[in-house]
A and B are shown apart, each in its own frame.
Chain A
Amino acid sequence: MVDLLRVIRDDGHADPATDPKLSKDELLSLYRFMLLERTLDGRMLSLQRQGRIGFYGPSIGQEAAIVGAAFAMEPRDWIFPQYREPGAALARGMPLKELIAQFFGNALDPIHGRQMPCHYVYRKGNYMSISSVVGSQIPLAVGAAWAATIRKDPVACLVYFGDGGTSTADFHAGMNFAGVFRAPVVFLCNNNQWAISLPLRKQTASETIAEKAAAYGFDGVRVDGMDALAVVAAVREAQRKARSGGGPTLVEAVTYRLGPHSSSDDPTRYRDEKEVEPWRRRDPIEILRNHLVAKGVWNPGSDQRLAQEIDDAITEAVHAVETAPPPPIEALFTDVYAEVPWNLREQLEDLKRIRGGE
């Protein structure tokens, strides 16, 4: 079995042998984005329950794996998300208002209400558009990374997927192509133990996800996904290896989906709360916070101020975007192709005529 990398010890101090040695500013920024993601999840689930947004997929319990991996990459590297990584998009500079506007799908949504919530994109941060099809992003990341090597650009790609994603044909094809072409890819499996109702043991007969990499001819590493610094350390090493021509790495972040799969899911139908409880005690945000305190870079007295600041920022963003009107009907027809073809023009004109007669 592949060893599980941990950096933050139970006493809150980092293991000096594996500590990625982030600066104080980096540590605080990492903490802030993880807390932002957690707070955002709670607020958006609440908006969904109130009927103000249509859907939400929270990432509670996975903040260390999500934000930690994004932190380990460099800005010019590309990120291919699954659909549960808003913290990574925010860490890439996506404005909170833009993100939340996507959840509302209104005229302020950069993608014009074309996708359900949690399917945002942020090109300025090299953050790829999101598909709901599990695993489909994996070969895309491999192709982009491969293209970077063809262009001789020092760029690597980080691709997120879950334990369920490792069962897909796209995972196999992507891993195999990456191995054969030594594409500079970091495969980040957020192994949260559950693919909606299917537990890991029914997803794969492999002891670990990480060991699957061996079959493709490259390294697989396994990290404590509740330990943000372990994720940063493993992904940073994988990123450096990729950038220096060493090929791909599979990083299995062992986490747990503390919440539901989505706002449409009720996990009590298929899992026992007794299973969840021990994972709740290993909350990734608490683990990083303890480290920050132990290291002397965070004053526990500042907790409430930070929480308030984040909450206020979300409130402000919601207020700024919620009341926008729906996207214009033209947005149904644009961006299907670079130029709107005759049949779409005709359909738009017909629609306008009918609506005009209402």
Chain B
Amino acid sequence: MASDAHNAFQWGRVPGGARMPQMNIVQAVNNALREEMRRDDRVVILGEDVGRNGGVFRCTEGLIDEFPDRVFDTPLAEGGIIGSAIGMALYGLRPVPEIQFLDFIYSAFDQIVSEAAKMRYRSGGQYSVPMVIRAPYGGGIKGGHYHSQSSEAYFCHTPGLKVVVPSTAYDTKGLLISSIRDPDPVLFLEPKKIYRAFREDVPEGDLTVPLGKASVRREGKDVSLLAWGYMTHVCLEAAKRAAEKGVECDVVDLRTLVPFDLDAILDSVKKTGRAVVVYEAPKTGGFGAEISAQIAERAIEYLRAPILRVAGFDTPFPYTLEDVYMPNADRVMAAIQKVMTF
């Protein structure tokens, strides 16, 4: 499914057809970290198994060989990893801590929400926490409840924190570099299901993709599909199937959730008059609810149908039935049909 969806991507090609490395998302993460560590000696990496082992997904593979004094295998304590990374950032470093699975982040929740995200505000700008927390998120790897969650909404509800979710290798590199250079703490969520699902052209060297800007992955006049991370690919597949039935979908990949690109969302919805928000997390209180509310507040006069959400269920993430739990093209198609026939 993902590779099909990827065929729909039409960006990232080099003008003139010059050769460029092909990378998957894991390699893009690795390349971004390596480039930034070369450029800026304040960038350090810490986390569980990120050194000698290169991370359980191999995102930090080989970095300890090039930067033996700046890559740290830590004891197994997320609160300690994030807490000490905050201290490093306060001191003037640019730490990039890794949380092995987003599902393990909660013991560091207080450090993220109460310390990292609040430091600039509560110190009147005297201190700040330029830090990027990398964490693989989402389902699709048969990991059950503790290796599959998409809990971005908790963090999007935290003033002072930015939340970034790439869906392609190109964006992964560009957004990760932008996040490392950002003066504020960023939670960088990596869609683990598609870590190695496809390769695409990703330039060597410096590459930034601005935070807070969405990307329209496919253009259509009938329905706006709004998504982030892996769900972008699900939407692209659904859009392809819808096109076969004569329904043209806009697919807007938000890329940054905080702060999100309001203009891109409204431009699309005002054009199509129909909005379907697709996210993996439990439906109630998910970040898609915020997107829906923004559309309702600002563009209701353009709407020809109710805003629909296609999301995970309000249950814990299951093991055996994960394919049933996760939104797929069938469920997105059902929503497309519903808004088209309203």
Q: Which residues of A contact B (CB under 8 A)?
A: 78, 109-112, 114-115, 119, 121-123, 128-131, 133, 136, 138-148, 150-151, 157, 169-170, 172-174, 176-177, 180-181, 334-338, 341-343
Contact = CB atoms under 8 A, between A and B. Distances in A.
Contacts of A146: 84, 87-88
A105 to B, nearest CB: 12
A143 B126 contact: no
Given A119-B122, A131-B118, A140-B115, 14 more contacts: A136-B111, A136-B114, A140-B86, A142-B84, A143-B91, A144-B91, A146-B84, A147-B92, A150-B44, A176-B75, A177-B80, A334-B125, A337-B162, A342-B262
Nearest to A112: B124
Nearest to A334: B125
Given A128-B127, A142-B84, A150 B70 contact: yes
B77 interface: yes
10 A-B pairs closest in CB distance? A143-B87, A139-B83, A173-B80, A143-B84, A147-B91, A111-B124, A129-B123, A144-B87, A338-B183, A123-B126
Given A150-B93, A169-B107, A335 B120 contact: yes
Contacts of B88: 143-144, 146-147, 150
B110 interface: yes
Given A133-B110, A143-B87, A176 B123 contact: no
Contacts of B93: 147, 150-151
Bin the interface of chain B by size.
35 or more
Contacts of B85: 143
A199 to B, nearest CB: 25
B133 to A, nearest CB: 13
A134 B121 CA distance: 19
A139 B120 contact: no
Contacts of A140: 83-84, 86-87, 90, 115
Contacts of B92: 147, 151
B119 A337 contact: no
B79 A341 contact: no
B115 A131 contact: yes
B87 A139 contact: yes
B220 to A, nearest CB: 26
Contacts of A180: 74-75
Given A123-B123, A150-B93, A337 B77 contact: no
A170 B119 CA distance: 17
A174 B90 CA distance: 16
B87 A343 contact: no
A123 B122 CA distance: 12
A351 to B, nearest CB: 15
A337 B120 contact: yes
B162 A170 contact: no
A142 B127 contact: no
Contacts of A111: 122-124, 126
Nearest to B78: A173
A139 B86 contact: yes
Interface in B147-163: 159-160, 162
A32 to B, nearest CB: 26
Contacts of A343: 259, 262
Contacts of A181: 72
Contacts of B122: 111, 114-115, 119, 121, 129-131
A170 B86 contact: no
Contact of B90 (A115, A143, A170): A143
B128 A141 contact: no
Nearest to A109: B124
Nearest to B84: A143
Q: Which of B85, B91, B124 has the most CB of A within 10 A?
A: B124
Q: Which of B77, B160, B183, B262 has the most CB of A within 10 A?
A: B77
A334 B184 CA distance: 13
A338 B87 contact: no
B120 A338 contact: yes
B212 interface: yes
A136 B115 contact: yes
Q: Which of A119, A150, A181 has the most CB of B within 10 A?
A: A150
Contacts of A78: 91
Contacts of A121: 122-124, 126-127
B244 interface: no
Q: Which of A111, A139, A151 has the most CB of B within 10 A?
A: A139
B301 interface: no
Contacts of B74: 177, 180
B153 to A, nearest CB: 16
